[in-house]
Amino acid sequence: MNESMNQSASLDDLIAIMARLRDPDGGCPWDLRQTFRTILPFTLEEAYEVAEAIEQDDMSALREELGDLLLQVVFHARMAEEQGSFVLQQVIQSICDKMIRRHPHVFGTANLPNPEAVHANWEREKALERSAKHDGKTVGLMAGVAHALPALVRAEKLQRRAARVGFDWDAIDGVFDKVIEELDECRETLAEPADPGARVHEIGDLLFSCVNLARHMGVDAEQALRTANRRFERRFGQIEAALHARGLEPSLAMRDEMERLWSLAKTEEC
C-alpha cells in the first residue's frame, strides 16, 4: 500500500484489506481463525473505547477508535459473506433504508414539528419493524431489547418501554420511596440464616430501582456509574501517590490515613 493510498483510503480499501487478511491462501493465521463469537468481545471493547474518547473530549482518539469500530463492522460482514449470509453492501443498504423510513419528515411529507413528535414516530416505526420480523404477529413490548446490553442500559430501556404505556411512577417521590424500600429489604437479608439467593434478588431489585430513579432525574445510569468509576479511580490514585511519596503503601494499617487523603482528594476537586 503506497503513501498516496494512505492519504486517500476509502471503505473499499478497508474491504480489500480484510479480504486479504481472510484469504486462506496467504492470509493472516489469526484473522483466519476468528469467528463471529471470538470477534464479539473485540467489537464490544471497541464500542466502549469510542465512548471513552467521547467522554474525554479527545477528538484524535475518537478518530482512531471509530476506525477500529469500523474495522469490526467490516470484519463481521466479511465473515458473513464467506458463508453466504450477506455482504457489506446489504448492511449499508439496510441502514440507509431504515434511516429514510424512520425520518418521513425529512425524506417524505410527514409533519413532525418537534423532537417529541420525531421520537414518537421513531418508536412507532421500530414497533412496526419488530412486528414485521415476526410475520405481522403481535409481539411483546419488551421484545427486541437485547440481552447483551450492559445491565444498567437494558434496565433503563425496559423501564422506558413500560413507561410509554403508562406503567410508571407518577411522581419522583414514589421512586425515592421504592429505593428506600429495596434498601431496607437488602438489609433484611443480612439476618440469619443467610440466603445468598435472596441477597442476589434484593440487590438486583435495588439496582433496578436506582436506574429508575436516575431515569426520573434525567440521568443516564450507565454514564453516571462510568463517571463514578473514573472519579473513584482518580481519587484512589491520588491516595496511592501521596503514600508512595512518603515511602508507604496502601494497607489496612494505613486505613485512617487513606480516609484522610480521600477527604483531601474530594476537597481538592471542589
**Digits of tens for pLDDT over the chain (270 positions)?**
444 455 688 999 999 999 999 999 999 999 999 999 999 999 999 999 999 999 899 999 999 999 999 999 999 999 999 999 999 999 999 999 999 999 999 999 999 999 989 988 988 888 888 778 777 677 788 888 889 889 999 999 999 999 988 999 999 999 999 999 999 999 999 886 778 889 999 999 999 999 999 999 999 999 999 999 999 999 999 999 999 999 999 999 999 999 999 999 998 886
Helix, strand, or coil here: 262?
A: helix
Q: Which amino acid is at 87?
A: V
**Tally of CB atoms within 10 A around 230:** 13
Per-domain residue ranges for the chain?
Answer: 3-101, 223-269
pTM, whole model, 2 decimals? 0.72
CB 242 within 8 A of CB 261: yes
CB 36 within 8 A of CB 55: no
For 132-187, the pLDDT digits (tens) are 877 767 778 888 888 988 999 999 999 999 998 899 999 999 999 999 999 999 99
CATH fold of 3-101 = Helix Hairpins (1.10.287)
**Separation CA 264–CA 253 (nearest Å):** 19
Q: Which are the contacts of 231, defined by CB distance < 8 A and separation ≥ 6?
A: 269
Confidence (pLDDT) at 270: 66
Tell me the three cell numbers of residue 129.
419493524
Tell me the three cell numbers of residue 254.
494505613
**Separation CA 128–CA 14 (nearest Å):** 34
For 48-71, the pLDDT digits (tens) are 999 999 989 999 999 999 999 999
